Amino acid sequence: MSVSVSNTIQGMANRANPAFGAGAVVVPLAVFVAAVLFGTTQQLTYVHVMAGVLWTGIDLFMAMILGPVLGSLDIDTRAAVFQRFTPKMTFLMPTLAFTTIIGGMVLASEMGLLPGLAAWGGIFSIAAMGPALLAIGSQFDAFTDWRWLALFVVIVGGGAASLVANLGAFAMPSTAILAALAIVSVLTILGFGVILPGEARMYLEMTSENPNADLIGAIGMRNAKLAGIQGVLQLSIVAVMVYIRWGGFGF
């Protein structure tokens, strides 16, 4: 079944409730941009921490509460829950993840903990977003799709260009910051390369002529379990941040 990207996004927004979908994306990003361009370090810290709290809390809720509850339901009921739940999560979670991750990198740069932000941003685009895009392309057999190719060139090629152009400003941060970057890279690959495509596959199955309740339920339960892994990784970043704070570097 052929489904255009615009129709897919529009249809998912309608299922999520257009007001919710727009708010879930626009509000966090607008607050983040305002904090970066016009706010103080303290205000950016607040945005970064609050987005991270919501992201981590929802992931842990899915893994520890929602997942076990859904696992006890019959397949049709489980699929029905995911049909209402998935569209909202597809808009909310990537936005929270983006705000938390990029906000953390910008904040670390402002505090002098991540020298050469543009160069490190290039490395992140290659090492984290590159594998995530490859995972997406593999799941949707999109390696020959011009849209996927264009996105890959823009993100990975742009990251490589940024790294090369800013090599002079590149410097190694502390071990704690490196650990945080490594964990964030895994979270990015897992979230954008596995969980988000899974939600898209669920939506496409929901809107097909003969929805497969088994497939919808299976992907939904897998994503709930992966959310638990993400929650553990996010808590490990919190531990790293506490270590940085305890070492006198500040949040």
Domain contains 23 = yes
- Judged by DSSP in three states, 42 sits in helix
User: Residues with Cβ < 8 Å from 60, sequence gap 6 or more?
Assistant: 227, 228, 231
> 250: pLDDT confidence band, cut at 50, 70 and 90?
very low
**84-138 confidence digits (pLDDT tens):** 888 888 899 999 999 999 999 999 999 999 999 999 999 999 999 999 999 999 9
Q: pLDDT at position 4, please?
A: 45
What's the mean pLDDT when you consider all of the chain? Answer: 88
> 1: pLDDT confidence band, cut at 50, 70 and 90?
very low
Domain contains 100 = yes
Domain contains 143 = no
The pLDDT of 13-28, averaged and rounded, is: 86
pTM of the shown model: 0.87
Domain count, the chain: 1
Domain contains 76 = yes
Classify residue 111 by its DSSP letter.
T
pLDDT at 21 over 90: no
- Residues spanned by the domain of 104: 6-114+173-246
DSSP conformation letters of 148-182? HHHHHIIIIIHHHHHHHHTGGG-----HHHHHHHH
Q: pLDDT at position 205, please?
A: 86
pLDDT at 148 over 50: yes
C-alpha–C-alpha distance, residues 98 and 91, integer Å: 11
C-alpha–C-alpha distance, residues 197 and 126, integer Å: 19
Domain contains 39 = yes
Domain contains 168 = no
Domain contains 157 = no
Domain contains 182 = yes
